[in-house]
Chains A and B, each alone.
Chain A
Amino acid sequence: MHPDPAVLNDYVEDALGASGRADVEGHLESCADCRGAVNELREIRDVAKALDPRDPPARSWTRLQRAIALEHGARAVQVAGSRSADASGSGSRRQLWIGVAAAAALVIATAAGLRYAGFTSGPSSSQRATTTGGANANTDAAAQAVEAELKQAEAHYEKAIQGLETIANSEKGALDPQTAATMQKNLAVIDQAISESRAALRVQPASAPAQQSLLESFKAKLALLEDTVALINEMRKGNDAGAARIVSGLKGKG
């Protein structure tokens, strides 16, 4: 029986105990599939580690902004010239895709950065320090470090969300009213969760549940916005076979 993927991930991250590590290594000796999976995880880890966990590359954000601006420009021309949906042409569609791709890249970079900045689903570093450190100075320092990381993470998420929101808002007419209302309602649910988490953190900056809830809410909002933009994209494309191929390509990578 193959190890759980989470166990392989822990193995790659040296997070397993001695016996767990030995178990995995024993399995890897006889399982080419899992060896391949481990190699892929190592590649992902190495690539992610190479990413700047603090700030997204300025050029990425600049590209995203430019793409959004171009998209807006293309639509402005389109509206001025014709109301025909076909008038947007493939160039405009490409620009929207560029925007989505840039936003997606930013999200990936952000997520990877956060992952290696120490925000995992387990107990936070502040919690561990609180319970095992014993020394108040260490605890406070650790808590402050986590709070600082949280603020940086928040800034990354907000930038990525802002980019996707810009695209989603400018193109939301492409969705049918019912779907658009569903998306909007659920974005509001997530915004409420973000608002509550932030309020809690203002009172208790070191609260691990509040920190994790804030990050989870950001992730949920990003995911929903990605879905929204992807849907808008497909709706705009109609039955453009080329677009379907692009989506098929994404599917293969997913």
Chain B
Amino acid sequence: MRLALAFVVAALATAATPAAAQTPHLNEIIRIRSYQGRDRGPEQTDKFSAKYRLGRDGRVSIANISGDIVVTAGSGEEVSVDAVKRGRGDRSQLDQVRIEADSAPGRVDIKTVYPMRSNSSVSIDFTVVVPAGASLEVHSISGSVKITGVRGSVRAETVSGTVTAADTPKLEVAKTISGNVTLTNVQTEGDISVGTINGMMNAKGIRAHGIDFSSISGDLVIADMVCDRLGAKSVSGSVEYAGSISKTGRYNLTSHSGTIRLTLANPSGFELNADSFSGSVRSDFAVTLGPTSGNDRRRPGPGRTMHAVFGDGGATLTIRTFSGDIVIAKR
């Protein structure tokens, strides 16, 4: 996830810039967001609706500071934006937070603009419908992002919140620092990069050339996936992979302390390189063990190494843990 999350903030920093020389500081806004709900008084809301002509395959960007973003695909050529501002206390705060849209042929950019150094606790929830073929870029600081059915390229990043993408065949990036990532039915000929630092990652029905999953303390659960190259990495989370492997695919799965479990459906063959310092290694397939398999006799303890071949040995499985168990199971 190196530096990528900076781009979320950078995009928002740019987006938050009003035409005048106002300089709201994102950290202040976020701190204010942290105290949201502590303000006294009933919730105030203000609705915003607008439509912009885009064309069938234009580009849409949405940058929000605080609040959720839901994007779905529509059948027309317009971008439809419905937003609800929410805040407590002084209603004038709602008016100070603006939604700005910049529309040009083939492009619609939507952003929120906060006043300089206000005590605003306003958040904005967006519900946006875009043409199904549009490309989409969504950035948020504090809020969840949910995208469904968008057929153009999709990049979704938030700092604090969940990221959910379904039926987005050209998903490129789905990342968050603190929150879960859920992907469903993503089919692309390209590569996908998915990351969270502190959340769980769920991916189901993914077809892609290459996929990189990374997490530090979250679990990775991957099901019904088809890809030629997989990198799945966690420090303390477990990694579960259930699906097929391509004939010459490369699959690298690592976790320091989590269990790694691969459940494979009728593989034609694979070369397995599995190592664990103190966990166990088990394969339910009738593999041919290499000479270095078994206990590492150079040291005591339960650690295992399994270098083995199954079937035609076409795919390469490289699996490593420090203390977690490794299981290769049949589906």
A contacts, CB < 8 Å to B: 4-6, 85-86, 121-123, 127, 130-131, 174-179, 182-183, 185-186, 189-190, 192-193, 196-197, 200, 203-204, 206-210, 212-213, 216-217, 220, 223-224, 226-227, 230-231, 233-241, 243-244, 247-248, 250-251, 254
Contacts and interface: CB of A to CB of B under 8 A. Distances in A.
Contacts of A224: 197, 216
> Which of A131, A224, A238 has the most chain B CB atoms closer than 10 A to its own CB?
A238
A219 B31 CA distance: 30
Interface residues of B, number: 62
B10 to A, nearest CB: 4
Contacts of B257: 193, 196
B235 A190 contact: yes
A33 to B, nearest CB: 14
B277 A209 contact: yes
15 contacts: A131-B292, A178-B178, A179-B177, A193-B257, A200-B277, A207-B299, A217-B256, A220-B235, A227-B177, A235-B9, A236-B27, A238-B25, A239-B17, A250-B6, A254-B3
> Which 6 pairs across A and B sit closest by C-beta, in order of nearness?
A230-B6, A234-B9, A247-B10, A176-B30, A213-B322, A209-B277
Contacts of B228: 4
A185 B198 contact: yes
Given A186-B216, A207-B296, A213-B277, A239 B26 contact: yes
Contacts of A235: 9, 25-27, 30
A234 B10 contact: yes
Contact of B27 (A175, A190, A213, A250): A175
Interface string B116-156: 00000000000000000000000000100000000000000
Given A250-B3, A254-B4, A204 B299 contact: yes
Interface in B239-279: 250, 252, 254, 256-257, 273, 275-278
B1 interface: yes
Given A213-B322, A231-B9, A179 B25 contact: no
B88 interface: no
A189 B216 contact: yes
B318 A238 contact: no
B212 to A, nearest CB: 12
Nearest to B117: A85
A196 B257 CA distance: 10
A228 to B, nearest CB: 9
A209 B178 contact: no
A254 B193 CA distance: 13
B49 interface: no
A4 B229 contact: yes
A227 B3 contact: yes
Contact of B34 (A177, A204, A208): A177
A226 B298 contact: no
A121 to B, nearest CB: 6
A140 to B, nearest CB: 11
B184 interface: no
Contacts of B210: 4-5
B16 interface: yes
Contact of B275 (A177, A209, A247): A209
Contacts of B160: 178-179, 182
B323 interface: yes
Contacts of B48: none
B320 A213 contact: yes
Given A209-B303, A238-B23, A244 B292 contact: no
A207 B142 CA distance: 43
Contacts of A203: 299
Nearest to A219: B233
Contacts of A131: 291-292
Contacts of A121: 252, 318
B217 A248 contact: no
A130 B23 contact: no
Contacts of B7: 247, 251
A223 B27 CA distance: 22
A200 B292 CA distance: 20
Interface in B29-46: 30-31, 33-34
Contacts of B14: 239, 241, 244
